[in-house]
Structure 1
Amino acid sequence: MDGTMDPGTNAAPGRAAAADAKWTPYRHPMPKESPPELIVPDAIPSDERVWVPVDDNVWFRPLCLSVTRGYWVNLLRVRRAGVLSRHRHPMPVHGFVLKGEWRYLEHDWVAREGGYVYEAPGETHTLVVDPHVEEMITLFQVNGAMIYVDPDGNCTGYDDVFTRLDKCRRHYAACGLGEGYIDQFLR
């Protein structure tokens, strides 16, 4: 290079072209088999009907149900103290606490607002929300299934992406959104 600078960028001409290329969108089509992005602008919805009831004062809000990969992403909202469920995970689970806090009976840590939790495959635990917590909202990505068990590990039920999908369809049909409302979250 001759040391001259591009007057618009205060950079050498070669660097200016590279900087401009950063701002150029990808010029080729996406793979035709690739599903479209999923953007949920109101992840915490103002319409209460979007929350799918699980139990008294316990709901989930679906964000992505991947029927092709066997996982789901949802917000779990709890507005009561108590034991929610004892369950086992055959695959990893990721959680991010948006509001409030919760814990597992089997561990000595508390998942608090702003905290991230990784749950390893094979983990069995009992989710608890303590009485001082008015509302808890946590983003969870659940891979595979949640296998509900008694204290000795005997299976009492399960949830997977398909049982969650069925719950959503029934709820949305009953609340007036229509059973097809959930289709926007399927991948």
Structure 2
Amino acid sequence: MASQMKAPPSSRRQIVDVPNNYKHLVERLSPGGRYIDAQTDDDSPWVPFGDNAAIKHLAFDVRQNQYSNILWVKGPGTIGTHLHRGTVTMVTLEGSVRYLEYDWVGTPGGLILETPGESHTLVTDHPEGCKLFGWMQGPIEFYDEDANFVESVDVWWFINHYETHCREHGLTPNPKLYL
């Protein structure tokens, strides 16, 4: 007979000191949890990404070549053909998005999973464009319309993108974005 899973107890709101033999190491070495406000520019500004798009950087993890951001395509448009060398997980926040290579359309709340080795061309036909939350790992290679390699972007490219924008606009890079 299968047992039915139950939710953990939650009758009181209190901090519980959970036993952890390595708590001293966690306290010394972990970057700790954090909150990044994605609704305002307080923690991270919108950084232009081409003529019709911008990126709000949310996290940079140089140890795992991972980065998180919100991509905003401001109206109908395209983000060029690219090849993923790592895994990408995205959620459509606003508008709609599709890839020329697939027959589905991502709408708000929808999950998009991309695996290493796939290439595709991101398009939004929505009059107001789209916003996509993404958590990405590894490099992304961009190609032109003739399949010529143009640029490889990874965690270091995204850090440079963010920090260059901050320097040019007199902003201090937010240390909370670096894991």
Range into which the TM-score falls when normalised by the shorter chain = 0.7 to 0.9
Q: How many residues align?
A: 165
User: 1:140 — aligned with what?
Assistant: 134
User: 1:67 — aligned with what?
Assistant: 62
Question: Which amino acid in structure 2 is aligned with residue 123 of structure 1?
Answer: E
User: 1:184 — aligned with what?
Assistant: 176
Q: Deviations over 1:132-175 (max 9, x none)?
A: 33131110111001100235643211111001101111101112
Residue 76 (structure 1) shift: 0.5
Which of 109, 121, 130 in structure 2 is aligned with 1:126?
121
Q: d(CA) in 2 for partners of 1:83 and 1:71? A: 23
Q: d(CA) in 1 for partners of 2:47 and 2:103? A: 30
User: 2:144 — aligned with what?
Assistant: 150
Question: Which amino acid in structure 2 is aligned with residue 170 of structure 1?
Answer: T
- Which structure 1 residue ranges, 5 or more long, are not aligned? 1-15
Could you tell me the TM-score, scaled by structure 2's length?
Answer: 0.82
Moved over 3 A (4+): 46-49, 150-154
Question: Which amino acid in structure 1 is aligned with residue 178 of structure 2?
Answer: L
RMSD between aligned alpha carbons? 2.4
**Which has the higher Rg, Structure 1 or Structure 2?**
1
Q: Which moved more, 1:121-130 or 1:150-159?
A: 150-159
Compared CA separation, residues 122 and 128, structure 1 to 2 (3 A): same
User: 1:33 — aligned with what?
Assistant: 29
- Which structure 2 residue ranges, 5 or more long, are not aligned? 1-8
User: 2:162 — aligned with what?
Assistant: 168
Residue 77 (structure 1) shift: 0.8
Give me the identity figure in percent. 30
Maintained 8 Å contact 2:43/2:174: no
Residue 125 (structure 1) shift: 0.1
Does the residue aligned with 2:158 lie in a helix, a strand or coil? helix
How do 1:84-123 and structure 2 match up within 5 A? Answer: 84-123=79-118
